[in-house]
Structure 1
Amino acid sequence: MRLRCAVLDDFQQVATELADWSPVADDVEVVAFDTHFTDEDALATALADVDIVVTLRERVPFPATLIARLPRLKLLIASGMRNSVIDYAAAEAHGVTVCGTASSSTPPVELTWALLLGLARGLVEESTALRTGGPWQSTVGADLHGRRLGLLGLGKIGSRVAQVGLAFGMRVSAWSQNLTKERTDEIGVDLAPSKEDLLASSDFVSVHLALGDRTRGLLGPAELALLKPTAYLINTSRTAIVDQDALLAALHEGRFAGAGVDVFDVEPLPAAHPMRTAPRLLATPHLGYVSRANYATYYGQAVENIRAYLTGSPVRLLRPN
């Protein structure tokens, strides 16, 4: 009897198109779900007869309570090589092997700039007006050349965002708790004296930090109050780095020019969530990792992981962060 593999959150219905599943076709039946399961009961019911699960990023938690309800589950594959919503101890206790895949930093870099440019030039407002008979030119674009781009984080993604900013002729500064002048000199940007200085002096602020105890709530009411009235904030990293209540309040009160957000406290975003109607907000449904090349890697390596598991030599094993 073939094993049953469930692919979760295949919203675009491309999981079986962007990778070749034929190497495991004799052993595995693939079932893709294009809707999101919003609670553990629904997920446990849908996966009751499943041996393998492929899940995207950290959208679907796999706590001990869920894993205990999936007696057939033997292999859990998550895209990326870091996942904080899987209970690894429970997986081990129930004999579930957990694997990951590679993930490119290029798509989130590109989406960061799509959001930044869309905000700076009022693309959504102008496009909507043009297509609906609205006014011809209603916004005045914010310039990039010569303006200050402040980066919170200068790692793999932040450093590439910095390089694009430099290509636009921007003055680029960066800050994080452990950032050194040697690192900023290597990238060719300025080291901000402090987080507060970076926020107060930047025309555009972009978040590129990993979520942890030191970064959770890093930008709260006091920090957001430091932004210039003409500044824009971009977050394609993790929701919890920016206090969501403080962000919503700042947007409604017009304390700064606007925000571009790709990550949310609940995903998919509920229909009545206040982020859907917040003013001065350009929001996308967590598209940072969503690209053809990335999906081909995710699902292609998921197939490789399944093959390796079936031969008794699992690869790309995930461990707790």
Structure 2
Amino acid sequence: MSVRIAVLDDYQHAASTMADWSGPLPGTDVTFFDRAITDQAELIATLTPFQVIVAMRERTAFPRSVLEKLPELKLLVTTAGSNAAIDLVAGGELGVTVTGTRAHPPGTAELTWALILNLFRDVAGDDARIRAGQWQTTVAGDLDGEILGVVGLGRLGARVARIGAAFGMDVVAWSPNLTAERAAEHGARLVTKADLFATAKVVTVHMMLSDRSRGLIGAAELGAMREDAYLVNTSRSPIIDAEALRTALTTATGPAKVALDVFDTEPLPADHWLRSSPRTLLTPHMGYVTEKTYRIFYGDAVEDIAAFLADPTTPLRPLVP
């Protein structure tokens, strides 16, 4: 009997073209799923026959309640090197090996700047207006000389900060453990959290989601922002308090515009309030969705599967609790 492999959340029908699923995996049966399966019972019923599952980042969760009802599952591959939506402890107890892949980090930083530039220059709006017969109806803002506030100066935040400095922006940064020396290494000045939100023209979020960062940006931070400020989140949605953001966007408080690439529920439901919210620029979690990233993700996933099928005792890139 052939090994059955499920490749999940292949929204763009890209997985089959980004790696060779046949040559390295002879005798396997690969099924690509192009939709999100959000109902847990449906997910279990769909995946019950599969011995191998490839998950795209955290699009589909694998808690204990799912893993324990997939008795055929032997290998769960997640793209990238970590996945908070997989219960690694349960996987180990149930005999499910979990492996990861390499990644290509620049994509999210590049999308961050696409959003920032569109907030300043309203490229999408100008495109719509010129198609409607209009011409030069707005005046754009300038990046040079403005303050860029970076919340979280890790790998991605540092890249965003350096690009901001190249645009001539005054880059300030804050995170709980950030030092002045590290900030200076990336062309930024360390400031307090309060000062960052009160002074920055653009606040961009680049922190990992944890108990400490959940709800980090709430009513106080949003209310302290300049009336002409922009807020950008390409990190994780729960870092910004959802109700506080909704209040800020429907009242006179908070930033002038908000750009979001991440959401509490993904895909974003058709009736979600953000779809009709004023002062927003939305993209469907596209930060890491680039050709280079996908080729690394899926190419490594095939390598992980081939190695496991050859010798289950020595998996490539295993993830442990």
TM tier, smaller: over 0.9
Superposition pairs of residues 6-21 of structure 1, within 5 angstroms: 6-21=6-21
**Equivalent-residue separation in structure 2 for 1:8 and 1:186 (angstroms):** 40
**Equivalent-residue separation in structure 1 for 2:289 and 2:132 (angstroms):** 29
- Which of the numbers 177, 194, 200 marks the counterpart of 2:198? 200
Preserved CA contact (<8 Å) 1:8 1:34 = yes
Aligned residue number for residue 289 of structure 2? 290
Supply the AA of the counterpart residue of 1:318: L
Supply the AA of the counterpart residue of 2:262: V
**Equivalent-residue separation in structure 1 for 2:252 and 2:266 (angstroms):** 26
**Equivalent-residue separation in structure 2 for 1:245 and 1:115 (angstroms):** 23
Superposition pairs of residues 253-264 of structure 1, within 5 angstroms: 253-255=251-253, 256-264=255-263
More displaced 10-residue stretch of structure 1: 108-117 or 16-25: 16-25
Aligned residue number for residue 111 of structure 1? 111
Preserved CA contact (<8 Å) 2:261 2:287 = yes
- Match of 1:24, SS state, is coil
The percent identity for this pair of structures is 47
**Equivalent-residue separation in structure 1 for 2:202 and 2:99 (angstroms):** 37
Preserved CA contact (<8 Å) 1:23 1:303 = no
Supply the AA of the counterpart residue of 1:233: L
Query: 1:13, CA displacement in angstroms?
Result: 0.3
Query: 1:142, CA displacement in angstroms?
Result: 1.6
**Equivalent-residue separation in structure 1 for 2:34 and 2:168 (angstroms):** 42
Give the TM-score, by structure 2 length: 0.97
- Note if 1:4 corresponds to 2:4: yes
- Match of 2:23, SS state, is helix
Aligned residue number for residue 70 of structure 2? 70
Query: 1:254, CA displacement in angstroms?
Result: 4.1
Preserved CA contact (<8 Å) 1:23 1:307 = no
Aligned residue number for residue 319 of structure 1? 320
- Match of 1:30, SS state, is strand
Aligned residue number for residue 33 of structure 1? 33
Supply the AA of the counterpart residue of 1:206: T
More displaced 10-residue stretch of structure 1: 22-31 or 300-309: 22-31
How many residue pairs get matched? 318
**Equivalent-residue separation in structure 1 for 2:72 and 2:132 (angstroms):** 53
Aligned residue number for residue 225 of structure 1? 223
Supply the AA of the counterpart residue of 1:59: R
**Equivalent-residue separation in structure 1 for 2:258 and 2:34 (angstroms):** 29
Aligned residue number for residue 181 of structure 1? 180
**Equivalent-residue separation in structure 2 for 1:168 and 1:244 (angstroms):** 31
Aligned residue number for residue 82 of structure 1? 82
Query: 1:315, CA displacement in angstroms?
Result: 1.0
Supply the AA of the counterpart residue of 1:225: G
Superposition pairs of residues 268-287 of structure 1, within 5 angstroms: 268-287=267-286
Query: 1:28, CA displacement in angstroms?
Result: 1.6
Query: 1:183, CA displacement in angstroms?
Result: 0.3
More displaced 10-residue stretch of structure 1: 165-174 or 16-25: 16-25
Change (3 A) 1:139 1:245: farther
Give the TM-score, by structure 1 length: 0.97
Supply the AA of the counterpart residue of 1:223: E
Gapped regions of structure 2 (runs ≥ 5): none
Aligned residue number for residue 122 of structure 1? 122
- Which of the numbers 215, 223, 239 marks the counterpart of 2:237? 239
Question: What are the Cα deviations for residues 69-118 of structure 1, in whole angstroms up to 9, with x where unaligned?
Answer: 11111100111111111111221122110001111210000000001111
**Equivalent-residue separation in structure 1 for 2:196 and 2:232 (angstroms):** 14
- Which of the numbers 196, 207, 210 marks the counterpart of 1:209? 207
Question: What are the Cα deviations for residues 235-266 of structure 1, in whole angstroms up to 9, with x where unaligned?
Answer: 00010100111112212224321011000000
Query: 1:22, CA displacement in angstroms?
Result: 2.8
**Equivalent-residue separation in structure 1 for 2:74 and 2:131 (angstroms):** 51
**Equivalent-residue separation in structure 2 for 1:141 and 1:249 (angstroms):** 26
